[in-house]
Chain A
Amino acid sequence: MTRYISKRLIAMIPVLFLVSVIVFTLIRLIPGDPAIAMLGEEATPQMIASLRAEFGLDQPIPVQYAIWLGRVLRGDLGNSTRAHQPVTQAITERLPATIELTLLSLLISLTIAIPIGIISATQRNSKMDLLSTTLALMGVSMPNFFLALLLSFVFSLNLRLLPNIGYVPITQNLRENLIDMIMPAITLSAATLAIVARLTRSSLLEVLNLEYIRTARAKGLAERAIIIRHALKNAMIPVVTIVGLQVGALLGGAVITESIFVLPGVGKLAVDAIFSRDFPIIQGVVLFFSVVFLGVNLIVDVLYAFLDPRIHFG
């Protein structure tokens, strides 16, 4: 197992290298100069030139990349060009909000999606099944920015129950933190909830038709025990895979959700950085998201072994 994990970790290096090259090149292809984006309408050519020199933007792109990579390997992601702050500090400062948002949405989606999936699988074609299918379709189809505005319109503007924006760190006040987090977490969880519910349903249906389930039934086991102890564990393998991949989608969704609810997370950091052409921040955030995504998928692969003892890693 240790060998497998270290092999996977080594394999991450070329992936991350490629990601860094692609991001570095792509953001430099977006029209718009960070110096001009920063200086705005007040800029004089001299000011632009001196700021470009300060950011190292007057160098050829390969040279800029080499300098940046050298620093990254030493753990220095550079400085934000807009907010005069080290990139690592900008990311770590905003990590708590994003981690909390992602975990909360994952929690909401799984606690609702799996029971829904089980119920629709066991009561196939019932009214319950139809309802959950409809809800799932809505969840997948509704873009999260629309859901966010809808929730905020109803619960903030009309009912005045929840704040439309705001963030209190969890360490400062748990209650207020959760109040601020309800709408963002629900918004972000909708799509994942729907996908996981659908997948649990189909995966469980498939397993329930297998011979060992028939054997279990023939043995006279209670239906409840069959589903929870025998069928669900096997049905969970594709679900776990999807949940792993969904972490990527959640991080992507966090970009929009955080922007709408003005949560100081890594996603909003990325959006603001793109608008102000803050290259060091964009590079840092994308690299960071890539590491998280690769890490989560590694964990998912390792989890397979626990769910299905027949899977071995060598």
Chain B
Amino acid sequence: VKIRLFIVLTIAALIVLGCAAPSGAPQPPAQAPAAAVTRGGTLRVGLNSDLTTMDPHMSTAAVDRQVYQSIYNPLVRLDKDLTLKPELAEKWDFTDPTTLVFTLRKGVKFHDGTDFNAAAVKFNFDRMMNPDNKSPRASEISSVKEVTVVDDSTIKLTLKAPNASLLAVLSDRAGMIISPAAITKFGKDLARNPVGTGPFKFVEWVTGDHLSTVKFDQYWEKGTDNQSLPYLDGVTYKPVTDASQRLTSVKTGTLDLIDQIASKDYAGLKGSKDPIMSEVAALEWQGLEVNNAKPPFDKVGARQALNYALDRDSIAKDVLFGTVTPGQGPISPSSWAFDASINTYKRDVTKSKDLLTKAGLTAPVKFDCMIVNSPDGLLLGQAIKEQLTAGGFDMNIVQLDFPTALAKYNAKDYTCFQIGWSGRPDPDANFYQFMHSTGSQNTYNYANPKVDELLDKARATYDQAQRKDLYTQATKLVNDDGGIGAWLYWPTNIKVWSPKVNNFLHVPDGMMRTKLLWLTKAAQ
């Protein structure tokens, strides 16, 4: 009966599909470059996860930051090439290595009508720095000792020690300024009642369904038509956790712009005109990370062998369908500090086996590795296992859900874990906390005084060229030690949108900035 049913089903499905697919249907003509911007329309954005809080001082989920792009403005803005541009701060100056002075923009208003000024900025910093508030931002701005109001539009940050990464931090949540009146009024409920200076005002948030915003009429920035931004009437965000459904939505016109796709869909979207796919090297890195205190990886030879056994090119091409760049460091190709010479390991399974023998280990060298139990995660885990087998290892895949694996990892109760870091614009935030012996995220028990010295120096140097050189040296040292285990690849950030969406600025941080977007008139 089962077989018959299967045949019936298959035939039925084939008939239905055969009738349905409009294959070879003519593509709409490519959109001519628009001479002028058109205003109006509501943009529908598909997010990859549910939102958690609208309070940037309390958020720990990347998805929240997408909505903040509409509701808030940071002090400084991150550009495509990861340089920093003025936003709420018109200019800034390190008057000495531990004093940062911001000149703030005048005439900016919060959505509730209160004025944006130096007192508001100080109020925000004090809120993040107050230990009672337990703000996740506190550690990001821990280098700040004191914030002083100089005058209504000047604010001074006094630092405990020179910190070259601070400015980039202020382009994200720590630099987004919330209305002090709203903080006082709502307290913890600010999570669902955000009030910022951004181009769009918050309207409503139906958890798990949508969050809607509407154009803020008194927004400070002007568009190319010399009228106030934004061009759009509103932006609605919808969490669609299933990647296939998200893509179908933008193909069928239910959504206009989506974040992230499944890697299997990448090839099919390349070169497509409807929808349009945009890709840019992200800030993120992924690795096969090991605990330097647990056998077999307490031996440097085993960690080096791991690096030789891996075939990063095959992982990028065959497992992840070209949606990543193979790589061996914490600084991705999107950064000004990127240096391709850090890729020192080439696959060599004989060398891998030799190193294991020299380290006093007998092949196959057994170890457990935690792999997050998602379909993509397991596929990657299987490929790694096979590659390592050829190099003299016997990796046992331990499938765990993400929170469980993360808990073990944080407690340093693991041998090996395939995980990564979402990345930050400044290299310091992608490197120091992981590889410095005192780093808060150094779950590897890795310590190399020379690396510590280089990282400390890079943090205290404001010269970009010097910093780049220091990071390159540090990365090479860590790679020689196999300090993290093995860095694997740098993901590509992918966005897909309908052809009616114009003017998308694809910054490597993957944030969807909405103030400059506009919709083609006919499509509204």
Contact = CB atoms under 8 A, between A and B. Distances in A.
A167 B209 contact: yes
Q: What 5 pairs between A and B have smallest CB-CB spacing?
A: A32-B403, A264-B209, A158-B20, A31-B404, A37-B403
Interface of B: 1, 5, 8-9, 13, 16-17, 20-22, 50-53, 60-61, 134, 136, 139, 188-189, 191-192, 206-209, 238-242, 244-245, 248-249, 251-254, 400-404, 406-407, 410, 419, 421-422, 440
Contact of B421 (A32, A39, A41): A41
B5 A137 contact: yes
A193 interface: no
A39 B62 CA distance: 10
A2 interface: no
Given A50-B134, A160-B252, A262-B242, 11 more contacts: A31-B401, A32-B402, A32-B403, A36-B407, A38-B52, A149-B244, A152-B245, A159-B20, A164-B245, A165-B249, A166-B254
A201 interface: no
Contact of A163 (B22, B191, B241, B252): B252
Contact of B60 (A31, A38, A50, A277): A38
A94 B208 contact: yes
A84 B209 contact: no
Contact of A141 (B5, B13, B136, B249): B5
A238 B53 CA distance: 49
Contacts of B422: 41
A163 B51 CA distance: 23
Contacts of A262: 209, 238-240, 242, 245
Given A138-B8, A156-B248, A158-B21, A40 B61 contact: yes
A268 interface: yes
Contacts of A277: 403
Contacts of B21: 158
A42 B53 CA distance: 15
A141 B404 CA distance: 34
Contact of A156 (B1, B53, B252): B252
B24 to A, nearest CB: 13
Among A41, A43, A51, A149, the one with the most B-chain Cβ atoms within 10 Å of its Cβ is A41
A94 B9 CA distance: 35
A75 B294 CA distance: 50
B410 A45 contact: yes
B207 A85 contact: yes
23 contacts: A33-B407, A36-B403, A37-B402, A38-B60, A40-B61, A42-B60, A43-B60, A44-B139, A45-B410, A47-B136, A50-B134, A83-B51, A83-B53, A84-B191, A84-B192, A137-B5, A157-B248, A158-B17, A159-B20, A160-B252, A164-B252, A164-B254, A272-B241
Nearest to B188: A84
Interface string A245-273: 00000000000000110101000110010
Nearest to B6: A141
Contacts of A43: 60, 406, 410
Contacts of A166: 254
A205 to B, nearest CB: 21
Contact of B400 (A31, A47, A48, A268): A31
Nearest to B411: A45
A36 B208 contact: no
A90 interface: yes
Given A44-B440, A137-B5, A158-B17, A264 B208 contact: yes
A42 B401 CA distance: 17
B403 A134 contact: no
A230 interface: no
Nearest to B209: A264
B8 A164 contact: no
